[in-house]
Structure formats: structure tokens, C-alpha cells
Amino acid sequence: MFRIVEKTELAAGIFRMRVEAPRVAASALPGQFVIVRADEQGERVPLTVADYDRTAGTVTIVTQTIGVSTRKICALEAGDALADFAGPLGHPSEFVTLSPEALRGRRYLFVAGGVGTAPVYPQVKWLHEHGVGADVIVGAKTRDMLIYTDEMRAVAGNLYIATDDGSEGYKGMVTGLIRELIDTRGKRYDECVAIGPMVMMKFVALATREYGLKTTVSLNALMVDGTGMCGACRVTVGGKTFFTCVDGPEFDGHAVDFDEAMRRQGMYRTQEERARAIAAEREAGHRCRIGLDK
């Protein structure tokens, strides 16, 4: 069992948990993920590592209440325990393999959307600890949905905020802010890392392609099993098939077939809707008969 040391609601339906997992914390690196189960009957949920503390032996995850399983995880409180917390899994971010000299010579732009801001944070923090001040764009629909802005300011070279409704920072999409930074403010970058909703990453990659700017995206949202056995996270990159969980989760954004990835992301929508209905029936104290009646 893995005890939840601390729980914080970052925004409506978005929770941060710091979990006791010394062995995971000892070897975790930016870009990797863990498999979490709320209880013995729970679904395996892949979550990207949002931070880790090797001294304290804790790993931080951020979860949004979208489906039945994530709601079950988010219902737990500090002092409760998760049944499983396996990892770290997946390949770490490419830049962790670079020498300090190579790192300091590169200019990074991170683009984070919604809950994707959480896994961007350990990457920017790692670069900061190695003498690199990366620029960061954090995007959300409205200021009430922004997360990790204070934490990001502490480690980023520059933090830029974009909200769809203009309630904070730049009014509009993150792609518009990318163009403003490059075209109007004269910013130049060697690499862009984008993590967020699939459609956001698609349009970030389309925008950066125009500038010939290398772009890395994280496809964690596609994963189901997390070990390569189920095949649900297959993705086409450069015309070849890869498994997000074992070959990624980070890939060349200019080579990813995003349209296929978004279709695959919706494969289990019917099953999730059925699971929600069953959960609602149980909460109401009724025996669910969905799928039983002819």
C-alpha cells in the first residue's frame, strides 16, 4: 500500500497528491509515468510523474476527475493509501541524457495545456537545476483552471500565460502566443516541448513546423494498460507503429499522426459511459441492469 501524504485541490476537479513511494522516487526522471490503482478492484490508470523527492521518498501525481477510476482515486484523502503505485515507466525526456555543456547551449520552449502543466513542471525544474532557464507557456480555458503557475515561476526563465477568455495573460490559444513570442518579440528556440490535450499538441506541432522548430509531445493520454500488452496506445509516428507506453511516452510531434491518435483516444468512450452509469446506479443504491435486459 502507498500512503497519500498530502492532497490539494488545484482547480475544480483537479487534485495533486504526494504519495509515499521510496523506490519509485529513487529512480524517477522527468517524462516518465506511474501506474496507479485506487484499490484491488480498481482500473490501472497511467499518470505522468508531476514531481519527486528522493530524500522524502515521495512522488507527486496530478489527477483530474474525468471517469469512474479517476474519481475513485481523487476521492481518497491524505492518510489513505493507494493499492498500487508502479513505476517509473516509459522513457525519460531526451534532454536528461545531454551533457551540461550541450544543455546550456539550447533554448527550450515548453507549452503546457490544462492538466498537462503538471508533467511539464518536473521537466522545467530539472533544467533549472542544471542551469537552463526555459520559457514556459501555460494555457487554460479560464484563469480558474490554471495550475502550477506559482511553482512554474520559481523554475522557469520566463512564464507566459494564455487563457481562451482573456481572464489572465494573453487572450487566445497557445499557438497565437507562440507566434507572438517568435514573430513580435523576437524569441528564438532550439526545441519546443508540448504537453496537454491531444488537439492542442496537434496545433502546436503544426505551428512550430512553420518555424522549423523541433517539437516533442507526450502521448500519455493514450495509454490504458501501460505495459505494451493491450495495444490500445498504438500510435503512428513517421509512418511506423509504436506503443506509447513502452516506446514513449514522448515522440516527435511533427511525425505523429494526431488524427489517428485522437480517434484511438475515443475508442473506449462507450465503455466509460457504461461504467459511469453503473457507478451512478450503485451510488443511488440500485442494482445496475445495464446490458442485462434484452
Least confident of 18-27, 107-116, 224-233, 234-243: 224-233
Specify if 223 maps to a domain.
no
The whole-number pLDDT of residue 76 equals 93
One domain for residues 198 and 121: yes
Polymer length in residues for the chain? 294
Q: What cell was used for 217?
A: 509531445
Q: Is residue 180 located within the same domain as residue 167?
A: yes
pTM of the model: 0.85
The CATH number of whichever domain residue 153 belongs to comes to 3.40.50.80
Within this chain, do residues 107 and 46 fall inside the same structural domain, yes or no?
no
Boundary-marking domain end, from 168, 203, 218: 218
Query: Are 211 and 106 found together in one domain?
Result: yes
Give dist(CA 240, CA 216) in Å, integer.
17
Report if residue 62 sits inside a domain: yes
Domain for residue 103, yes or no?
yes
**Annotated binding residues, as ranges?**
62-64, 230, 233, 245
Measured between alpha carbons, how far is 268 from 271 in angstroms, rounded to an integer?
A: 5
| pLDDT confidence band for 61 (50 / 70 / 90) | very high
Cβ neighbours, 10 Å, residue 149: 17
Q: pLDDT at position 282, please?
A: 56
pLDDT at 238: 93
Instruction: Give the CATH number of the domain where residue 25 resides.
Output: 2.40.30.10
Q: Which residues are annotated as a binding site for [2Fe-2S] cluster?
A: 230, 233, 245
Summarize the annotated binding site for FAD as residue ranges: 62-64
pLDDT at 234: 86
The predicted model gives 101-113 an average pLDDT of: 91
119 vs 121: CA distance, rounded Å: 5
Q: Quick check: is 247 in a domain?
A: no
Domain boundary among the residues 44, 62, 89 is at: 89
Amino acid in the structure at residue 6: E
Q: Is residue 228 a part of any domain in this protein?
A: no
Q: How confident is the model at residue 88 (pLDDT cuts 50, 70, 90)?
A: very high
Residue 80 DSSP one-character state: B
Evaluate if residue 256 carries a pLDDT over 90. yes
Distance between start and end Cα atoms, the chain: 41
Say if residue 214 is in the same domain as residue 187: yes
User: What percentage of the chain reaches a pLDDT higher than 90?
Assistant: 69
Q: Which of 218, 238, 257 is the last residue of a domain?
A: 218
23, amino acid identity: R
* Residues 148, 55 share a domain: no
**Placement of cell 501501460 in the chain:** 226
Lowest mean pLDDT among 31-35, 185-189, 231-235: 231-235
The closest alpha carbon to 233, from 11, 46, 13, belongs to 46
Distance CA 35, CA 141 (A): 28
Give the range of the structural domain holding residue 184, as residue numbers without chain letter: 94-218
Mean pLDDT over each residue of the chain, to the nearest integer: 88
Residues 109 and 189 in one domain: yes
- pLDDT at residue 266 in the model: 67
Kindly report, residue by residue over 111-148, the tens digit of the pLDDT: 999 899 999 999 999 999 998 989 999 999 999 999 99
- Residues 202, 135, single domain; the answer is yes
Scanning the structure block, which residue is given the C-alpha cell 521518498?
57
Query: How many Å apart are CA 39 and CA 83, to the nearest integer?
Result: 5
Give 183's DSSP letter. Answer: I
Average pLDDT over residues 145-157: 94
Q: Are residues 73 and 160 in the same domain?
A: no
Tell me if 292 is assigned to some domain.
no
Are residues 127 and 206 located together in one domain of the fold? Answer: yes
pLDDT(275) > 60: no
What pLDDT score was predicted for residue 254?
97
Which residues, 6 or more positions from 211, have their beta carbon under 8 angstroms from its beta carbon? 182
pLDDT bin (cut points 50, 70, 90) of residue 277 is very low
The reply to whether 147 and 194 lie within a common domain is yes
Let me know whether 70 and 99 are in one domain. no
Burial 197-232 (b: 16+ CB within 10 A, else e): bbebbbbbbebbeeeebbbbbbbbbbbbebeeeeeb
The number of distinct structural domains making up the chain is 2
Decide if 45 is inside a domain.
yes
